[in-house]
Amino acid sequence: MGIEDIKAQVQKIQEEKLEKKGIKVVKEDIQAAEFEWIKLNQELAGIGDSGTVQKGETSKEKFYRKFQENPLVPIGAGLTAGCLMLGLGKFARKDSAGSQTMMRGRIAAQAITVMAMLIGVSVQMKKQMAKSSP
């Protein structure tokens, strides 16, 4: 069974589903929708029109760039995760007072992280507005 056979079966199943819903099946519509889906997947994967993979930034490079733009967000996320882990550890050891303290710390760290995100978004919006205005 080749790829063409699989494509034909998928198309047949799609046509049957549409017919069950009472939608008139037009093969060009299905092919156009499939083409748009393939195009979107290629764009998300970084594949250009020529079929070659475009050189983009790696996840590590993206992390460093984002960290430089707004360092408080990853720091706040780390603090939140740390407080949560310590709080769960204290909870497991039946230290309710310590667990409560760590959970309050987690909430404070989350609040700081959300505020840092909002500040970062507003700063980025101001930079974009400054770039776009003459």
For the chain, first and last CA: distance in Å?
60
Dump pLDDT digits (tens) for 39-73: 777 677 665 444 444 457 788 888 888 888 888 88
Burial (CB count <10 Å: 0-12, 13-18, 19+), residue 106: buried
pLDDT for position 53: 47
Euclidean distance between CA atoms 132 and 104, whole angstroms: 42
pLDDT for position 34: 64
Q: What backbone torsions phi and psi does residue 54 show, to the nearest 5 degrees? A: -80, 145
Residue 32: both structure tokens together = 């156009």
Dump pLDDT digits (tens) for 6-41: 777 777 787 777 777 776 666 555 566 666 777 777
**0.75 surpassed by pTM:** no
Q: What backbone torsions phi and psi does residue 53 show, to the nearest 5 degrees? A: -80, 125
